[in-house]
Amino acid sequence: MVSLKKNIAISDSGFVFNPSNGDSFSLNQIGLDMLLQLKEAQSEEQVKAAIMAKYDIDRDSLDNDYYDFLKMLGQFKLLELS
């Protein structure tokens, strides 16, 4: 499973700060939930299960959104390089 960079700061309000390059981002609630799950969960399935438990979303749409979100995190250099 992909992992977030360890030094990324995430606030309760959805503000994200990358101290390696000074970039900051604002997330909406579902983005924040996804990021927190990515930080805490042990597997991709755990992340998706947590999101499906909280939000009314079908599995196919979640899969699409999940990979889009990861792609975006990668582009913004928020993921550890494997």
Contact between residue 80 and residue 5 where contact means Cβ atoms under 8 Å apart:
yes
Residue closer to another protein (CB basis): 6 or 59: 6
d(CA 8, CA 77): 10
Is the separation of the CB atoms in 31 and 25 below 8 Å? no
74 binds another protein (CB under 8 A): no
**Near another protein in 8-27, by CB under 8 A:** 9, 17, 19-22
- Smallest separation (angstroms) from another protein to the CB of 20: 6
Number of Cβ within a 10 Å radius of residue 34: 23
Q: How many residues bind another protein (CB under 8 A)?
A: 7
Chain contacts with another protein (rule: CB under 8 A): 7, 9, 17, 19-22
